[in-house]
Amino acid sequence: MEGIFGDRRSPLIKGLKGTFILKLIPEPSFIVLLKRLVLIYFLFGLCRLGFYFFNTFLFQGVTVGKVIRFMAAGLKFDTVAILYTNVLYILFCILPFPWKYNRISRIIFDAVFIITNSIVLLANVADFIYFRFTLRRTTMTLFREFSHETNLGKLSFRFIFDYWPATLFFLGLLAILIYGVRRTRMPDRYREPLISYFIKGLVVMAMSVGLFIGGVRGGFRHSTRPITLSNAGEYVDEPKETHIVLNTPFCLYKTIGIQDFEKVHFFASEDSLEAIYNPVKYPVPDGPFVPHNVVVFILESFGTENFGFFNKDLENGKYRGYTPFMDSLCQHSLVFRVSYANGRKSIDALPSVLSSIPHVREPYIVTQYYDNKINSLGSLLKEKGYYTAFFHGAPDGSMGFSSFTRLAGFDHYYGMSEYGKNADFDGTWGIWDEPFFQFFRQKLGSFPEPFLGVIFSVSSHHPFELPAKYAGKFPSGPHPIHRTIGYTDYALKQFFAEACKEPWFRNTLFVFTADHTQTTPTHPEYLTSAGLFRVPVIFYMPWADSGSVSNELIQQIDIMPTVLGMLHYDRPYFAFGFDVFHEPGHFVVNYHSGVFQIFQGDYMLQFNGKSTTGLYDLRHDPLLNHNLAETEKDTRTRLEIFAKAFMQQYMNRMIENRMTVPEEK
């Protein structure tokens, strides 16, 4: 530490004494600046190592050599974040004004240096944990995502203790920061004639401004474009590794006021584009419209890994999962063997499931296009006379769900306020699932038929607590989420035990999916870039004689068009997904670490918007060990065409607000 944080008599300064460099510098304010910036580089490096070691289970295959390469590459991104963070302090140090040496100025700017750098270090450390939930570095959309939350203080306090290793890591960084500042204090006065001081100061300031501009741009060439998040892809072998190269402050700075999308033009004409992929649907039903009630359960973190039904071969056939009721219901349902989410966060699920709008780059709800004209399962069925309602046991306004469902055309929103019994509040997120599911059932019984009821559960979420009366009742498994999965599964069992007695039950189509997978899968099959999106899609029809398993691929954005197809919906509508029973050639899409993942048949293509980065045979290579991009070029080309068609339809229609059926048609 002495070599970095030592005072003016350190060996480094002694060695430079009398050199041209020190003669040029007007007093040691610039030396203090350099030493403190080196300190922050050191702390950013520790953060990069911490980020990797806290999340090694998500970066399998990363070698020591790769980590060294990522550390070196990350310096470019650290430079941008460090310079932006310390711009005020840098300006203070390079301005050739003697007043910066007085005691008050030094105290103020030391405090500025410590506070600003503490904040960005905290952002880096917070992503040690939050990255597990999102699989991407945090951007400015975080503040829009949580702008409606009322319990952030309580949640933050809880996270401090629940993830105490990260808390200790941050406190260690803070201690090093404060120690380094104390060891590199500014002197109390300048020591040369005023004229000489100003001349030298102006030279140093000009040099510093030039270095600053080159640093924040990522280079000094005239042709250099300002460095962005995507530049991290130049230094990695897989898209997910970009998050080790990046740092969170850089991602926050680079997404301030950014436009979410840019138009693309892979296809010259709309006709050629629509021949490959057209999100405007003109259904031709098999018969007249069937007004079944529709009930949709979106279950928090209920990834496919938690089900015994989907994992009969896991752990040599001994795996039982944590969802005994849902496993039994699957025996009587239409179940899709392979199904995927279109995002990694709760806020991604609602547009995907209800409006067939997937997550791309940022959650749709918080993009600047959130107010585009859209259709949804709610608005389309309301045209058929349905009563529509959405239920979420969290405080009203949480996650922006109430505003989205209103824009999506739902009649009513029922949240914690409408429930009205604070005794059932879990203390963190909302009403416990068991009582709120019963509230949901009772409300459904009061609605006129046909109705659409959608409920988003809350209990299978950090901090993974249970009502006191259920302590020890559910298997905990290797992760604490498993006992809360078991609790929500039990709440579903209680719901159906009562719902099956209701007169509306036999005429109701039930749909089950998850918002996303759990943050820390426990089996390698679910840790891949494909497995991290594996969620169930299940249709339960009480009037059906038996269950069945479909081998068709399905995703969250297919739920809306597939439900409409099952009801024989006969009007045009807009959906990025497919009716899997009536539309041929469909594919699955999700967006992961800056890359589009396109699934069709047994294959998954990874496409970064310009070129293919990976092609995998999921059936024969479930752990994605063998990249076939160079050996199966016909498959790669075919899937690239789908990827480009999807990108053009999604980006251009989002920007142009063309997400409904054209009125002239």
Paired strand residues for 339: 554
CA distances from 396 to 353, 428, 468, 513, 604 (A): 20, 14, 25, 22, 39
DSSP 8-state class, residue 431: B
Residue with tokens 């009366």: 469
Identify whether 285 is preceded by a cis peptide bond (ω within 30 of 0): no
Reduced to 3 states, what is the DSSP secondary structure of residue 44? helix
Paired tokens of 406: 């209103």
Give the C-alpha separation, 477 to 286, whole Å: 46
Q: What average pLDDT score do residues 66-75 get?
A: 94
- What confidence score (pLDDT) does residue 219 get? 64
Strands, E, within 85-208: which ranges? Answer: none
Q: What is the pLDDT of residues 413-442, one digit of tens each?
A: 999 999 989 899 988 889 999 999 999 999
Calculate what percentage of the chain has a pLDDT beyond 90.
63
Residues 6 or more apart whose Cβ sits within 8 Å of residue 316: none
Among 22-36, 61-75, 89-103, 235-249, which range has the highest average pLDDT? 61-75
- What confidence score (pLDDT) does residue 406 get? 84
- What confidence score (pLDDT) does residue 15 get? 45
Q: Is the pLDDT of residue 134 over 90?
A: no
- What confidence score (pLDDT) does residue 224 get? 43
For the chain, domains (ranges, CATH) are 28-254 (no CATH), 270-656 (3.40.720.10)
Give the C-alpha separation, 623 to 621, whole Å: 6
- What confidence score (pLDDT) does residue 260 get? 60
Residue with tokens 């300031």: 205
Strands 387-392, 412-414: pairing is: parallel
Paired tokens of 540: 């339960």
Residue of higher predicted confidence among 141 and 487: 487
Residue of higher predicted confidence among 125 and 23: 125
Give the C-alpha separation, 249 to 298, whole Å: 33
Query: Which range has the worst mean pLDDT, 11-15, 41-45, 257-261, 317-321?
Result: 11-15
Paired tokens of 635: 């498959």
Q: Is the pLDDT of residue 444 over 50?
A: yes
Residue with tokens 């009513």: 412
Calculate what percentage of the chain has a pLDDT beyond 70.
88
CB atoms within 10 A of CB 15: 9
Give the C-alpha separation, 602 to 55, whole Å: 29
Q: What is the pLDDT of residues 333-371, one digit of tens each?
A: 999 999 999 999 888 999 999 999 999 988 888 777 877
Q: What average pLDDT score do residues 127-149 get?
A: 80
Q: What is the pLDDT of residues 517-576, one digit of tens each?
A: 988 888 999 999 999 999 999 999 999 878 999 999 999 999 999 999 999 999 999 999
Q: Is the pLDDT of residue 193 over 70?
A: no
Is-contact 564 290, C-beta < 8 A?
Answer: no
Identify whether 450 is preceded by a cis peptide bond (ω within 30 of 0): yes
Reduced to 3 states, what is the DSSP secondary structure of residue 427? coil
Element at 20 (helix H, strand E)? helix 20-24
304 — pLDDT class (breaks 50, 70, 90): very high
DSSP string, 314-354: GGGGT---S-HHHHHHHTTSEEESSEE-S-SSHHHHHHHHH
- What confidence score (pLDDT) does residue 4 get? 37
Using alpha carbons only, what angle is made at residue 522 by residues 521 and 525, rounded to the nearest 5 degrees? 75
Is-contact 528 317, C-beta < 8 A?
Answer: no
- What confidence score (pLDDT) does residue 11 get? 44
Give the C-alpha separation, 252 to 261, whole Å: 17
- What confidence score (pLDDT) does residue 221 get? 52
332 — pLDDT class (breaks 50, 70, 90): very high
